[in-house]
Amino acid sequence: MTTLSDIGVAAAINISSALLFFLAFAILRLQPWNDRVYFPKWYLKGLRTDPVHGRAFASKFINLDWRAYCGFFNWMPEALRMPEPELIDHAGLDSVVYLRIYLIGLKIFVPIAFLAWTVLVPVNWTSSGLEGAQIKNITSSDIDKLSVSNVHSRSERFWGHIIMAYAFTFWTCYVLLKDYEKVASMRLGFLAAERRRPDQFTVSSIIHIFTYRNMLVLVRNIPPDPDESVSDLVEHFFLVNHPGHYLTHQVVYDANKLAKFVKKKKKLTNWLVYYQNKLERTSKRPEIKTGFLGLWGKKVDAIDYHITEIDKLSNEIVVEREKVINDPKSIMPAAFVSFKSRWAAAVCAQTQQSRNPTLWLTEWAPEPRDVYWRNLPIPYVSLTVRRLIIAVAFFFLTFFFMIPIAFVQTLASLDGIQKAAPWLKPLVKIPFIKSFIQGFLPGIVLKLFLIFLPTILMIMSKFEGFESISSLERRSASRHYLFNFVNIFLGNILTGTAFQQLSSFIHQPANQYPVTIGTAIPLKASFFITYIMVDGWASIAAEVLMLKPLIFYHLKNFFLVKTEKDREEAMDPGSIGFNTGEPRIQLYFLLGLVYAAVTPAVLPFIIVFFGLAYVVFRHQIINVYNQEYESGAAFWPDVHFRIVLALIVSQIVLMGLLTTKKAASSTPFLIVLPILTIWFHRYCKGRFEPAFVKFPLQEAMMKDTLERATEPNLNLKGYLQNAYVHPVFKDSMDVDDDDEEILSMDLETESATVRTKRQSRRNTPLPSKNNDASSLSV
């Protein structure tokens, strides 16, 4: 049992490490040579240039202006200042709505914490249940005095907890309802944003693409026809079945091999640049070995070797590209069909086309950047088989992942190493190495697995056949959440591997589940408080420091960068990472709701996490992250569902807990809560979820009419014709024209249209001038 002072120590350590990170960040970000690491978003948007030019030599690298260092936390209010509509323009709706998750955390937990501390804490504190319990050999900490554990069995005080459970549920549902409403209307507004004219350069490319997306439908599983090509087939089908609406279409090429070539060429070009730089610095022609990893083989001149290799590859790319374009077999049975009006596209995306519902599947086309090209041609039967395989695989991953890890851990133990590699024996006997192997290696093995978990889950989702990156990430997130729920939440409460829990659950009566969890919950409060501080506080503070991109940027800068464009390529802004971030937030929602009525002492720690994370991520979204795609907040129904799930878990746990406390007269009143919560979820699903799946005809028609009135002679076909080209295909076309432009290709096309309403922020970011008041508006 941890005492209050233990927690105090842990808090001190974590707070100081968090402060340390912030301090390092505050200093590092002001250095001009780190500018591209901490403000890459502005560079990508073309609104900021290197501060290196036209300064004194020293100030090129180190900021000598002492005034800049005065406010360590200046970036925090700055991050909060940008108003929401501008933030949508600047970073897209996905990022803004992602921030709302943290905001919801604050909105839910601040009033709940207030209520819990004014009502429940006095009720618990003034009880004396633990004094009696201590006789029975149960040790308790000071934290437990604040928790429900301190209330006597059969006490009438439990009515307070039950009433509070009702209050918490209603408040959470109210916040969720209001936010679902708000996000749904934000999404519809975003989809309908009328900003398409090419002269209107204050428009971000994301909204740009979204405006067109309303006219595009992705068609999958086009049935093969021996007499017609896929392209003709698509044209005929839509000309017949959507007469007067069909505009044009783009077929999808199978360019996986081409993509491989282009990737290889890019890598070789990087090496070429590296050796050329080396030559410049050392004036000695570098040599390499051609064998595996450059370890053996014939010695050749590195620069010549790479130039010839690149030439060879370029030729292969040309051949392959011709082949892909001209071979009908490389056309996949999928196409992007565009329509003359939003109305027609909405109709096509929402209806069943053919008698066989597994052919001619239509859905909204994902944004071009969001398309996961490799999964487009998977047929329906294969999809259902894949789902089955992955469902089984995920079950084993969740419940049996400890088996291979335990195996590796035995291998990595002292005995294991001595058996597998007897020649290491003398080394192992050194005390330092021995203690390292015993103390750290097993933990590191587990940690490594957890680091790779998102990747494993992502591979599983990819195998399942989703056709957009956003849906891949959503799927991974829900799997990750389940994994966290079983292995972090239940795993720590019940102590034991997931499989042991599973088997103990199977061998327990169903009515014992909530009791088992309910008994353990209050005892684990102090553990979870520490967990929140380590995982929540310190790691959020580390997020803002961007240590990995910082190191990589400077390494690349040193070895590879020749031109301004290379420097841009060297930046690694990263993105939000919905599939890793959201499951973590959900864990805090779960902990917060579960402990709200049980141990309110947990709540302040969670509130600090949400507040800190909100500020940090707002800063990162404004200055750093470069989102890879825009899904229009399509993830919200998932977020909503998981918070509701956490609410239901919290109610069941409380029921179990009160059962062990023998509060027989009051516990039955809790049964109503989960039923009402499930009903609330169903209501919200029916009321708001269609906004994330469908597109109402009324909206589409309004937009169409408006557009026809304002721009009667719009040439849509020209724009839509090439909106969906396989990115690699685009790249490879480019490669032949100008080798130097390969790397910057993507960035350039983007920055051509990406401007925001803000003024250029040349050097140290200045606070935004407009609408300060509304920056926190919700």
Give me the residues that bind its own copies (CB under 8 A), please. 188, 237, 240-242, 343, 346-347, 350-358, 360, 380-381, 384, 387-388, 392, 505-511, 675, 679, 682-683, 686-691, 694-699, 701
The residue type found at 580 is T
502, 493, 474, 490: which is closest to 396 by C-alpha?
502
703, 640, 683: which is closest to 183 by C-alpha?
640
Of the pair 430, 675, the CB lying nearest its own copies is at 675
- Smallest gap, in angstroms, from Cβ of residue 704 to its own copies? 10
- Smallest gap, in angstroms, from Cβ of residue 689 to its own copies? 8
Of the pair 237, 261, the CB lying nearest its own copies is at 237
Burial label for 429, CB within 10 Å (0-12, 13-18, 19+), is exposed
Burial label for 110, CB within 10 Å (0-12, 13-18, 19+), is middle
- Smallest gap, in angstroms, from Cβ of residue 95 to its own copies? 24
- Smallest gap, in angstroms, from Cβ of residue 748 to its own copies? 38
Tokens of 134: 């201590």
- Smallest gap, in angstroms, from Cβ of residue 381 to its own copies? 8
666, 530, 679: which is closest to 597 by C-alpha?
666
User: In sequence order, what DSSP letters do the residues of 330-361 get, joined into one string?
Assistant: GEEEEEEEEESSHHHHHHHHHS--SSSTTSSE
Helix H or strand E encompassing 404: helix 402-411
The residue type found at 110 is V
> Could you give the count of Cα atoms lying within 13 Å of 483 in the half-sphere of its Cβ?
27
Of the pair 88, 344, the CB lying nearest its own copies is at 344
The whole-angstrom separation of Cα 40 and Cα 67 is 24
Of the pair 93, 691, the CB lying nearest its own copies is at 691
Of the pair 157, 703, the CB lying nearest its own copies is at 703
Of the pair 223, 611, the CB lying nearest its own copies is at 223
Only one residue has tokens 């007269």, namely 665
Taking the mean position of all CA atoms in its chain, how far away is CA 241? Answer: 39
Helix H or strand E encompassing 12: helix 4-28
- Smallest gap, in angstroms, from Cβ of residue 498 to its own copies? 16
- Smallest gap, in angstroms, from Cβ of residue 669 to its own copies? 15
Of the pair 346, 458, the CB lying nearest its own copies is at 346
Helix H or strand E encompassing 50: none
Of the pair 393, 776, the CB lying nearest its own copies is at 393
200: Cβ contacts below 8 Å, ≥ 6 apart = none
Of the pair 312, 387, the CB lying nearest its own copies is at 387
The whole-angstrom separation of Cα 388 and Cα 384 is 6
- Smallest gap, in angstroms, from Cβ of residue 246 to its own copies? 12
Of the pair 352, 760, the CB lying nearest its own copies is at 352
- Smallest gap, in angstroms, from Cβ of residue 185 to its own copies? 8
Rg of the Cα atoms in the chain = 29
- Smallest gap, in angstroms, from Cβ of residue 245 to its own copies? 10
208, 200, 179, 540: which is closest to 369 by C-alpha?
208
